[in-house]
C-alpha cells in the first residue's frame, strides 16, 4: 500500500519560505560576485588613469645655475618680481662668509642696478656677492608665491639655503613702497628678512616661493 505524505498548510508555507530564503541568498551571492568583479575592473581602470596622470604632471624641476658674468643668459632665469622701476629681479643665492660656519643665503639679483651681484642680508646689513647662483625654471608656472607670516613657510616651500645653525632657509619676497625685495625666511627667528636700502629689513608679513601643487590637477 502506497504511503502518502500529507502536507498541512503550515508546513507548505514553511517550505515555501525556506525555498525563497535560499533563492534570495543565492541571488545576493551572485550580485556580490558581479559587484566584486565590477569594482576590481573599475580599480584597474582607475589605476590606469593614475598612471597616465603621473606622466602628465611631470615637469622640469627648478635648478640653481652658476652665474658666470654679465653675459650669462637670463632666458630661463626665474623672474622673482620687479624693482621700483618695474624691471625684472631674480632669485639668487650665495655662500656667505660672514659667520664662523658656512651659510648658504638666498637673495636678490637686480640687473637693472648695473652691478652683477647677488644681494643678501646678514646681521642687520646687506652684502653683495659677485660669485653666486641664480634660480632657473624652464617652466616658471611650477613656482608660485604664497603668503605667510612670522617665520612660517607653507607646505611646498622651496629651499633657498641653510643658516649657520643648520636651519633650512626659504625664499621670501616683500612688497615695500613700489618695489619687491627678495630675501630669506628664518623660522628660528620667527620672521623673514629682505635687503632694502642697503640694510637688512625685517618683515613679518611676506610671500614664500613654493613649488606649485599638482596633486589636485
- pLDDT in single tens digits along all 217 residues of the chain: 433 333 333 343 444 444 444 444 444 444 343 333 332 333 333 333 333 333 334 457 899 999 998 889 899 999 999 999 999 999 999 999 888 888 999 999 999 999 999 999 999 999 999 999 999 999 999 999 999 999 899 989 999 999 999 999 999 999 999 999 999 999 999 999 999 988 999 999 999 999 986 443 3
**Are residue 119 and residue 174 in the same domain, yes or no?**
yes
Q: Is 89 helix (H, G, I), strand (E, B) or coil?
A: strand
Amino acid 85: pLDDT: 94
Amino acid 42: pLDDT: 39
DSSP letter for each residue of 20-53: HHHHHHHHHHHHHHHHHHHHHHHHHHHHHHHHHH
Main-chain phi, psi angles of 26, to 5 degrees:
-60, -40
Amino acid 127: pLDDT: 96
* Total of domains in the chain: 2
**Are residue 26 and residue 92 in the same domain, yes or no?**
no
Model-level pTM? 0.70
Q: Which of 40, 58, 76 marks a domain boundary?
A: 58
Q: Which of 58, 74, 97 marks a domain boundary?
A: 58
Per DSSP, 57 falls in state H
**Are residue 91 and residue 138 in the same domain, yes or no?**
yes
Joined grid coordinates for residue 216: 589636485
The answer to whether position 2 is within a domain reads no
**Are residue 74 and residue 167 in the same domain, yes or no?**
yes
Q: Is 134 helix (H, G, I), strand (E, B) or coil?
A: strand
Amino acid 100: pLDDT: 81
**Are residue 74 and residue 129 in the same domain, yes or no?**
yes
The answer to whether position 115 is within a domain reads yes
Closest CA to 179 of 80, 109, 84, 81: 84
**Are residue 69 and residue 172 in the same domain, yes or no?**
yes
**Are residue 77 and residue 173 in the same domain, yes or no?**
yes
- Structural domain that includes position 207: 63-211
Contact 184, 121 (CB under 8 A): yes
**Are residue 40 and residue 113 in the same domain, yes or no?**
no
Helices (H) and strands (E) in the chain, counts: 1, 14
The answer to whether position 217 is within a domain reads no
- Burial of residue 103 (CB within 10 Å: 0-12, 13-18, 19+) is buried
**Are residue 32 and residue 73 in the same domain, yes or no?**
no
**Are residue 179 and residue 106 in the same domain, yes or no?**
yes
Contact 159, 169 (CB under 8 A): yes
**Are residue 80 and residue 168 in the same domain, yes or no?**
yes
**Are residue 87 and residue 187 in the same domain, yes or no?**
yes
Amino acid at each position: 500500500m502506497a504511503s502518502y505524505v500529507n502536507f498541512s498548510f503550515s508546513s507548505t508555507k514553511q517550505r515555501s519560505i525556506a525555498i525563497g530564503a535560499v533563492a534570495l541568498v543565492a541571488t545576493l551571492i551572485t550580485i556580490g560576485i558581479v559587484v566584486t568583479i565590477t569594482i576590481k575592473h573599475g580599480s584597474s581602470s582607475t589605476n590606469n588613469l593614475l598612471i597616465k596622470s603621473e606622466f602628465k604632471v611631470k615637469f622640469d624641476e627648478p635648478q640653481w645655475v652658476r652665474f658666470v658674468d654679465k653675459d650669462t643668459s637670463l632666458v630661463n632665469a626665474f623672474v622673482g618680481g620687479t624693482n621700483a622701476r618695474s624691471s625684472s629681479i631674480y632669485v639668487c643665492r650665495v655662500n656667505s662668509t660672514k659667520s664662523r660656519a658656512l651659510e648658504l643665503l638666498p637673495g636678490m639679483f637686480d640687473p637693472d642696478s648695473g652691478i652683477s651681484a647677488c644681494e643678501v642680508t646678514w646681521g642687520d646689513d646687506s652684502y653683495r656677492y659677485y660669485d653666486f647662483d641664480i634660480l632657473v625654471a624652464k617652466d616658471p608656472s611650477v613656482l608660485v608665491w604664497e603668503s605667510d607670516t612670522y617665520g612660517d613657510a607653507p607646505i611646498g616651500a622651496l629651499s633657498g639655503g641653510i643658516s649657520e645653525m643648520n636651519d633650512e632657509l626659504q625664499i621670501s619676497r616683500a612688497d615695500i613702497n613700489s618695489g619687491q625685495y627678495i630675501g630669506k625666511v628664518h623660522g628660528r627667528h620667527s620672521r623673514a628678512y629682505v635687503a632694502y636700502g642697503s640694510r637688512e629689513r625685517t618683515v613679518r608679513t611676506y610671500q614664500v616661493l613654493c613649488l606649485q601643487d599638482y596633486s589636485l590637477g
